[in-house]
A and B are shown apart, each in its own frame.
Chain A
């Protein structure tokens, strides 16, 4: 109860059941002249109190505090594929994330591995421009190959720059690569992929100027 209202607690029957209710009776205070002034003065006193105590202000100066910005661990912003210290990812190209995505922002392109003889990841294409950041892909991945990172300043002038290739190499997952002792053979299995490789959504012919990536050789792809 405050001085502006009276709360009357009682039991009433509604729909054949007793329901505990709190009946609000707002008090008629504004009709009296001293009360009008008192209400205004109290509001002003509160704001003046904050004015005189600037340490209670919670404003954060965003572009200035960039270096000290800390996000919670679970903060969802940029989808990334986890690459371990040796540069291997865990994606087996099972396409569960593609199926879980609510609006088709993920496209997993696989290729038939010549050395391994199984389907392996060629390109993992993620369209940030249509992504909802709903975390469904991360939840669906049975191998923990994906995670959401905290990079949130993603504004670009060209929408095509929001289409990313998440894997740094085309090839089998870390489990297969780690089992291969020969370094030269392992390197042969890993074909490099750039950040902006892959089909572009708006104009296939024009690659963004920013992406000066190595032209990858022609390969057989299956979408």
Chain B
């Protein structure tokens, strides 16, 4: 597929007469910026013919806070709390990508304990994010019960974060050189209890929502994204894997202690919304599997290998590091000019931005109601698109 770059005004040309026997006319409808499925502020301009979508024009930028620019005025430790605010459902992975890139550039060697705790926490966060996604998908498609059930379980994972870190959402936990706090003595037993609680619950989710014929009919064979197109569009994460491409950064380019644990890359076959749904459902089980393998033998060692107040200066150069968040590949690019402890330029390659543009490819031809399923199955977090 080829991609042509056009401006918004070019895209919003006067509507043309559609070639339909009813001599209908195409018209534009603004979906958003305030719309329940946006989960934030995202404007989607739809070119419609009747109820059929002809063209989708996403207009991001309503939650733009200039995080990349703000990073240029902050040292590498101060960047971490800003990254919490990008993809707030994968806050720990966002922390990790900056910490990882800075550690790579500055040559800081972390120990096995730090990396293990980072991996466990990230997997719990992925679990929490997918649990929330499941409920929100149900809510988008009209099943409010699912939303309440998912929030119940999300809070239980949130309590573990609250006890260990002190915050539920914007955690600022993974920092260059280590972690903010060491884990508490009862962390291991609590996580085990949590996993024992969650494993049967995923079957409960299946009973509540997956078996529902209305949901299945709204997801199956809707919004089919081909694997090659997904690669061309730069989609990553469950969206790409549901199209049958087994690209998972945790396997392809292992970081943390992912090379020591045993887990499967979950892929779909067709690439429709129903595959994206089930890939995430199975990823929850894989996350539980990863945490189970790591939680029993945590290595000993300090939780922070650098002094907090020491200046972190990176040598002159360009650095890029990436991690797999709950939504795909998040990359951090740092251009350091060698003097001062702030980056000269900072860029984030955020997964949601690329996943968003998949709608321009897969939504045309479907109805508005199908668009809800498509965007909900992409699991977009708007502050991460805009940064």
Binding site for B on A (CB under 8 A): 2-5, 7, 9, 12, 14-15, 17, 19-26, 28-30, 35-36, 38-40, 42-43, 46-47, 58, 71-76, 96, 100, 102, 132-136, 139-140, 142, 148
Contacts and interface: CB of A to CB of B under 8 A. Distances in A.
A99 B279 CA distance: 45
A84 to B, nearest CB: 23
Contacts of B163: 72-74
Nearest to A4: B210
Given A74-B165, A74-B166, A24 B275 contact: yes
Contact of A102 (B78, B164, B269): B78
Question: Taking chain B's interface residues, is the majority helix, strand, or loop, or is none over half, making it mixed?
Answer: helix
Contact of B166 (A15, A26, A28, A148): A148
B152 A58 contact: yes
Given A14-B245, A134-B170, 12 more contacts: A7-B282, A22-B266, A23-B267, A23-B269, A24-B269, A39-B212, A46-B207, A72-B159, A96-B309, A100-B78, A100-B308, A142-B309
Given A19-B265, A142-B309, A40 B180 contact: no
Interface stretch (B34-42, B108-116, B213-221, B319-327): B213-221
Contacts of B263: 20
B17 interface: no
Contacts, number: 140
Contacts of B32: none
A38 B213 CA distance: 9
A15 B252 CA distance: 8
Given A35-B213, A42-B207, A135-B172, A72 B166 contact: yes
A140 B307 CA distance: 9
B170 A132 contact: yes
B354 interface: no
Give the contact-size bracket for chain B: 35 or more
Contacts of A73: 163
Interface of B: 74, 77-78, 80-82, 145, 152, 155, 159, 162-167, 170, 172, 180-181, 203-204, 206-213, 216-217, 220, 245-248, 251-252, 262-269, 274-275, 277-279, 281-282, 286, 308-309
Among A71, A102, A132, the most chain B Cβ lie within 10 Å of the Cβ of A102
A43 B165 contact: no
Contacts of A74: 162-166, 181
Given A7-B282, A19-B246, A24-B275, A136 B164 contact: no
Specify which of B167, B203, B211 lies most central, judged by the most chain A CB atoms within 10 Å of its CB: B211
